Structure 1
Amino acid sequence: MTTNSILDLIGNTPVVELQHFSTNPEVRILAKLEGNNPGGSLKDRPVLAMFRDAEERGVLKPGAQLLEATSGNTGIALAMIAALRGYRFRAVMAESASIERRKVMKMFGADIVLTDAAGGTNLAIKTAQQMLSEDPSWVNLNQFENSANPRSHEETTGPEILRDVPDVTHVVAGMGTGGTLTGLSAFMHRQAPQVKVVGVEPIAGSKIQGLRNMAAYTPGIFSFDNLDVTLRMTEDAPAFGIAREIYRKEGISVGISCGAALWGAMELARTLESGVIVVIFPDRGDRYASTALFE
């Protein structure tokens, strides 16, 4: 396959059946490997959609400068596409975000503003909002409120799953901005209502980068009403442990949130008589080498 742009390679990610993690012999668990996107995560999809939408509406013009609060993966996708499009990009993120993510963003030419780790992504969001109010020349695509975010999954991720796994019964994904779950829910409820969409919510104050507990702040694009099932974690530890096991048992490079999503799929499998679960693995593990995942 040849292409004129790396952006043409976003999407159509592979699906692999996991051989060692089903907790029910009558349930298959397959993983959709979003870490195979050019920017290394699922966030390439919504970010490309948000860029295209903003350019079509005239919000983004040549020489524009972008500002976005991010836990890392969105920032990498924004930095990558901004570099290709000729825009300046500044990321606002908690200092607890892995050093690898920061370095990748800087390699793409991004500026980074770090906020106190204790405040997490919520503080990064507030800081970005304050910066925008002080200097309105910045353009904020706002992944937490932008309808192009879930629409990207409704138009690409959902159809790919149904195409590649036509007998799917459940789709499981972690809660971050809510864009993935909202888009998948919209598509499945319309095109395949028998498929149940399941969200995995971490604990309040979770250290799982990329996921969020919705109690403190619920993004405008997300509603629990869109989900068929919500599974709530009571601790972070299973996400780290399962992610390490994925490396060793399946040979797949994954991030911490992949472990959380698979925890949800395993819990769900225990409750089913039979089924085919597709779990979204949002990213890969190389950007977590400095974190507790690799200890």
Structure 2
Amino acid sequence: MTQPLHIAVLMGGWSAERAVSLLSGTGVADALESLGHRVTRIDMARDVAARLAEARPDLVFNALHGTPGEDGSVQGMLDLMGLRYTHSGLATSVIAIDKVLTKQALVPHGIPMPGGRVVRSADLFEGDPLARPYVLKPVNEGSSVGIAIVTADGNYGSPIGRDVAGPWQDFAELLAEPYIRGRELTAAVLGDRAFGVTELKLKSGFYDYTAKYTEGMAEHVFPAPIPDAITNACKALALEAHRLLGCKGASRSDFRWDDERGVEGLFLLEVNTQPGMSPLSLIPEQARHCGMSYADLVQAIVDEAMKDVRP
């Protein structure tokens, strides 16, 4: 750090990931203060533009997750205000939050991703859009919010029951993808460096929102006990996806690996442009294993953002 900055930390908001954002933002703000920066903490509400205009920070650390902090809305506002901010910009955020647009941006460049299609939730009550097992997920949510795995034994009914709890009750449209058996892997990227690969071993169920943010429900194994070829492929794909989407600062790429198929069984599921910075989050964990403290990681994200030219 060359000099202390005035940094506004945006956190909270009103998305389904509000609680995680508050954890991320608090951790980031504490780290920035420990580094000697002046910090203004902002739990984002509808008056956020006025509060930022009043604060006049040198930089905005975007610790929001989900809509509107991750989908380009906040990025567009900050661009209009002429404020520097961390993580990815407007266009990248719009594409990466949308799983369909992400496929359209990455698959033509050789990034392996599951097939699938968008379906109307109401149509699920008439029949299955894909052969079971398959996965249903919101098109525009992160942190595995609203995921359902529909299995052959009819865990939600066959067809899916209209009154059975699931994401079809909360979203008008869902993305249906073939279920990929195997293992859950994730690779973090900061700038032009991939830290490595973590394997997520679950106590039960699958890696949904609850498993991600409930201590003890998932074991994080770093480095992942996988062949070097798979580690190298994950890191290369994460870096390439980061580059193709135009990500800035930190990102995290999530994978499924069918370990019976070798490299051919590796699929990128999504790229998170606002990865969590909570105590259970994966990027701080990978950075720590690579010799970078939490405060060092926060400062590195700040340094990346300060390279950006803003009016």
TM-score (norm 1): 0.31
More strand by share: 2
More helix by share: 1
TM-score (norm 2): 0.30
**Max Rg structure:** 2
